[in-house]
Amino acid sequence: MKFITLSSALLALSETAAARLSLRSNTTTTRNTTYDYIVAGGGTAGIVAAERLANSGRSVLLIERGGTSFYMTGNNKTMPWNNTVTMYDVPGMADFTGASPDLQYCRDLAIAAGCLLGGSTMLNALMYIKPRSADFATWPEEWHWENGVSEAAEEFYKRLPGSILASEDGKRYDDGAFEVMSKFLDAHGWSEQDALNDPESKELMYSHPAWSIAHGRRDSPVRAILPVGSEV
């Protein structure tokens, strides 16, 4: 079994060398390695699909046209105050990434999408909203919640559990807005629920937000799934 991830950042050196040689030779180099599957796009769907294929015994090449994201992926654009994290690692910098000149949005699409390893999970606001079973009711029958989707979702949630209390010390900070709004909503028939662990509760409820954060860092299939797939 083989699972290899290739991003444009990893090709930068070889492309530079090829450019220098272009005036002397027009010979094209072809890779002789073959794969059962080539997955184009190293975002959430691509990483999960590639890992599932690799676990089934297939050889897989995962291609991402963008560059690296987390520090663990080889991104050396670290923070001045910590040389082991990038702006994509730090949850508190989720808003800053949108204003950063280094932000790796796809520039040739009409929608906002991330062109880097992890895709848009590197650029979003970290919200982690689990679907209801009813959300799959209009899908083809084999994709209904009760026809295997719930089991697949449960496996995914074990690896990316999310968090409704992301601070490492287990305390909430600056929770005044929630305290004020919760009293107002309680008085009007709403009730507090756990949006992370009770996804079926969507009516007349409020909750602290569920975040895609683990161990103080932004969580993503890049962190939770890609390393496992790469070891297959």
Whole-angstrom Cα distance, residue 178 to residue 206?
10
Bridge partners, 35 (sequence order): none
195 secondary structure, DSSP code: T
pLDDT of residue 182: 98
Of 5 and 163, the structure prediction assigns the larger pLDDT to 163
Domain boundaries, the chain: 2-125+217-231, 133-211
Rounded average pLDDT over 52-68: 92
Domains 2-125+217-231 and 133-211 share a fold: no
CATH architecture designation of domain 2-125+217-231: 3-Layer(bba) Sandwich (3.50)
Of 198, 224, 222, the C-alpha closest to 210 is 198
CATH topology of domain 133-211: Cholesterol Oxidase; domain 2 (3.30.410)
Confidence of residue 42 (pLDDT cuts 50, 70, 90): very high
Band of pLDDT at residue 16, cut at 50, 70 and 90: very low
Alpha-carbon distance of 38 to 67, in angstroms, equals 18
